[in-house]
Chains A and B, each alone.
Chain A
Amino acid sequence: MAIITLPYRYLERLTGTDRATIIDRIPMIGADIERIEEDHVDVEFFPDRPDLYSPEGVARAMRGFLGIEEGLPVYPVRPSGITFSVDPGLADIRPHLASAVIRNVDLDEEAIESLMGLQEALHWAVGRGRGKVAIGVHDLDAVTPPFRYIASPRDYSFVPLDFDREMTLDEILTDHPKGRDYAHLVERFSRLPLIVDADDQVLSLPPIINGELTRVTTATKNILLDCTGTDKKAVMTATNIICTALAEAGAAIETVTIDGEVMPTLAPTRRVVSVGECASLLGIPLSSADMAELLARMRFGAEPDGDSHVRVLVPCYRADILHDWDIFEDVAIAYGFENFDATLPATSTIAEEHPTTAIAGAVRSVMVGLGYIEMIPFTLTNDRVLYESMQRSPLPGTLRLLHPISEEQTLVRTDLLPLLMEMLQANKHRELPQRLFAVGDVVEDCVTYKKIAAVSIHPGADFSEAYAAADVFCRELSLPYSVTESDDPAFIDGRRGDIIVGERIIGMFGEIHPGTLNAFDLEHPVAAFAFDLRAVPGYPAPRGTPSPDER
């Protein structure tokens, strides 16, 4: 998540109001306040609003929301005369480039830090970790236009940022800290993207690192911005957000020409939206004038178009407006969430519980009646617990995680009994007898279904206790069953039974094998049973199943 640091003094100056008002109202435009400090506040903004990732962007929105300055912010652009060419060889590597010139910037250390912060937040939210978009800012006066965006051989060398010697592109990928962080984005290409000036001096190796030559310092007066990436729209969004933020801070924006295309225009996009659709979605009475007024507070250009529509100009920095409803949400925010009268609709509906939870409920009441305590174990477990300790061989239908996060959780449980054994182990120091049960989902061959298992540990736990409990369970759940001798290795031979309903083995019971007791470090006999609840009358048939990947 993007957490933005907002210094009060700067924000107050830009917004034209006091800090208390800002802190009070900021959550109502869509933000979480993380920390309130002496001289600044840290605020988390949502990933769909990268235009709020700078104090300038926040001030722009707050001015509108507080009624200080409403309507579309207009950013004049003049041509800089600077041109770029894009090497067609980049088409499959990193095809898109956007750029702009930003003049008369006034950067102190704090402003540079803020600009870097915006850049990093955009890398995260819009750039998807620099793959989709990477942003570079340069001291324009250190280099000579025209500029070229080329696919360069990897043995080309320059001095990257934070180094004092030339390195080849290959060396940068392996030896520069940023190279190591981002090499995965480009290392598969034989040529790498490079931005060079008229004298072949390197500005940037996108998306990895800039050249030391164009480092932005407090002495920098004019900035050249480059945004490169794999998605044209995203590259333009990042450019617009940075340009308009710097323009809010007082800089002048100039266009560049890239292979004949002049950018950035910083021009709004147009939409005509329905007042009726908005009013009905939000449940509030609205006229087209009301709606236009509310939208103006959200910094849209908005004019009534008769009674039924509003003509909207969407600012170029608003990357989140995909659909008319995105505009309606802004109407709701301007209206104030606290001003909505929360009301239930009149429609009446009849509730119904899901058959599987109804069955699970019946199971619980039987088990509680038998004196058992319920456990709700994790569904993720591992081979050691699920199979090895139970002396069972792994089921072929076991679902395994491709990228587990710990050795404890590598697969999805196919049975509950092993997890209850683990619970007994964890509760070894507690008073006996302990009788535990669990009812819950297991997954086999990608199909999710419910099972139940129960264990009883105490010096007198034996086969009879297990059988008696299993018998109660079957009788109470209307399962006519028969019993045959089981071969489940988790139980003692000759003291284990399979429960058969219809033709299928749907459960087993008996005395747990001492080898299994040893594996779980238990010191007393355990009587246990386990059932597949699909056998219970009324259990719904499974949905469609995925096919195992044939790799």
Chain B
Amino acid sequence: MELTLNEKRLLVALGPVGSADAATLADRMGTRREAVVQYANLAGERGLVDVEKHVSRQYTLTEEGQDYAGRGLPERQVLESFGDEIPMRDLQAHPLAKIAIGWMRKKGWVVIRDGVVQKTGDAIPGSDEVAFARAGDAGAIEDGEGVADLLRRGLVQEEEAVTYTVSLTPQGGKLLAEGLDLQEEVGTLTRDQILSGAWRDLPLRRYDVTKLPRRAYPGKTHPYQRLLDEMRRVLLDMGFTEIAGGIVQSSFWNFDALFQPQDHPAREMQDTFFLGERWPLPAGYERVRDMHEHGGETSSIGWGGTWSAEKAEQCVLRTHTTCLSIQHLAEHQKPPVKAFGIGRVYRREATDPTHLAEFEQLEGIVMDEGVNFRNLLGFLKEFYAKMGFEKVRFRPGYFPYTEPSVEPEVYVDGLGWVELGGAGIFRQEVTAPLGIEHPVLAWGLGISRVAMLRLGLRDLRHLYRSDVEWIRETPIYGGRR
């Protein structure tokens, strides 16, 4: 049992008396009462002292009470200010008359006849006056006769007083009798102590190692960013080149190049954020036009109707990252191409816990000679497995720019099969106008869905308007949920 220096000093101070209150001990030890209580509690845990806490009520003078202290209650002061009698009018000139006259009458010290105040000759101090005098002398008094009256008159106030009595236990006494080393303990090591070798003889103060100091918070990346980085890492590991691009896109790249018909509902203003800006069509746009109108030189019949260049020029906030994939393919027609992008996309949706007007999308494409539908499923399986979704299954799906299309589902404990993203092989109507001769496998997924699963979020808005506390408390490395 290793005592702190302060505990030892406490035992020494207690030695001659055996028991004392904390305030007395504080005086004796030259420290604060609070410190004594702290040392006593420590020593108490070791069974060296007993600490008894007493809570008592006491009464001290209020501000008004202080005014009267030493001079007496108002009725006493006024009573002594005149002889046997005085006209009421004159008496009222006394500053305390208002309070005092009532009390003098009540206590039977005076009577009032025809506007004259006359002493009755009886002016014995009441219990209130006695208590008041005591309070004035002692600063504080215990509850007793007259105190309730003073409390009602607002001359004293109730206070809770806590005192501690510390007593040496037999065990403490024994230890004290054996003698204690009172050499000063050291907190912080100084440079001198380290260099001089003085540290060898220093009693280093022992600390309570279970007591956590004020918490520190490190700088951190956002939990969602860590998830995005994890996905980037997976795709980089799988040999995919990262692509990025503008938030503002022409309808041509966002829709037309992906064979989305110009009258498609997604192209209406209630679903997409349109902009006043226009973007000139790229060279060779006619091949996209022909594809829409009659299927170009493929086996397609196209959508029919007349394709509008003006409609294709109008800018939008990109509604998917596929517009980046298709531009990347347009610039890289030679196989193999393996690319991915993670970017913010926009939908004209009212914001609520599960819908946002902007969110991240991940997209991957593979273009190579002879790649096929089985390879698409292979990539999907690998990607989801690396993301921690071991069980994956595939259902037919529909996306305007892929054929065949597939909806991957992953198994999540507690939720069952969850649809996670979409995939397919780009339609020839999409690839042929760009001069791409080989199949393009493509898949995408809304990352917020994964974020909700992985970060245990109920409200997607918390990703983008985050509580600092949530970020501070979310571990950087947490394994997988």
Contacts and interface: CB of A to CB of B under 8 A. Distances in A.
Interface of A: 27-30, 32, 46-49, 128-129, 132, 231, 233, 271, 273, 280-284, 322-326, 328-329, 332-333, 337-338, 340-345, 347-354, 356-357, 361, 364, 367-380, 399-406, 408-409, 412, 423, 426-427, 430-431, 434-436, 441, 443, 446-448, 542-543, 546-549, 551
Interface stretch (B21-29, B109-117, B175-183, B299-307): B299-307
A352 B243 CA distance: 9
Contact of A323 (B277, B405, B428): B428
Nearest to B241: A352
A373 B221 CA distance: 6
Contact of A283 (B220, B250, B373): B373
A444 B295 CA distance: 37
Contacts of B338: 349, 351
A322 B246 CA distance: 32
Contacts of A375: 222, 466
A130 B301 CA distance: 23
Given A231-B305, A281-B439, A436-B468, A373 B220 contact: yes
Contacts of A341: 374
Nearest to B400: A48
Given A342-B380, A364-B225, A379-B344, A406 B273 contact: no
Nearest to B298: A323
A374 B221 contact: yes
Given A373-B220, A373-B468, A405-B348, A48 B398 contact: yes
Contact of A342 (B217, B243, B377): B377
B221 A368 contact: yes
A431 B224 CA distance: 22
Interface in B253-279: 263, 265, 269-270, 273-279
14 contacts: A46-B398, A128-B265, A231-B304, A283-B375, A323-B301, A337-B406, A343-B378, A349-B338, A353-B242, A378-B358, A401-B273, A423-B465, A447-B248, A547-B280
* Most chain A beta-carbon neighbours within 10 Å: one of B229, B232, B372: B372
A402 B373 contact: no
Contacts of B237: 351
A219 to B, nearest CB: 37
Contacts of B304: 231, 233
B370 A280 contact: yes
Max chain B Cβ within 10 angstroms of own Cβ: one of A30, A46, A351, A357: A351
Q: How large is the interface on B (under 10, 10 to 19, 20 to 34, 35 or more residues)?
A: 35 or more
Contacts of A423: 465-466, 468
A436 B471 CA distance: 11
Contacts of A30: 395-398
A267 B105 CA distance: 119
B127 interface: no
Contact of A343 (B217, B218, B375): B375
A347 B336 contact: yes
Interface stretch (B32-40, B68-76, B150-158, B349-357): B349-357
Contacts of B398: 30, 46-49
Interface string B396-433: 11101001111000000000000100000101110000
A446 B318 CA distance: 12
A92 B214 CA distance: 77
A357 B244 contact: yes
B192 interface: no
A332 B177 CA distance: 94
A371 B218 contact: yes
Most buried by A among B237, B248, B371, B373: B373
Contact of A402 (B274, B278, B419): B274
Given A402-B276, A441-B344, A373 B242 contact: no
A46 to B, nearest CB: 3
A546 B277 contact: yes
Contacts of B250: 546
Contacts of A46: 397-398
B378 A342 contact: yes
Given A329-B404, A345-B375, A434-B468, A324 B276 contact: no
Contact of A400 (B276, B280, B370): B276
A357 B269 contact: no
B379 A376 contact: no
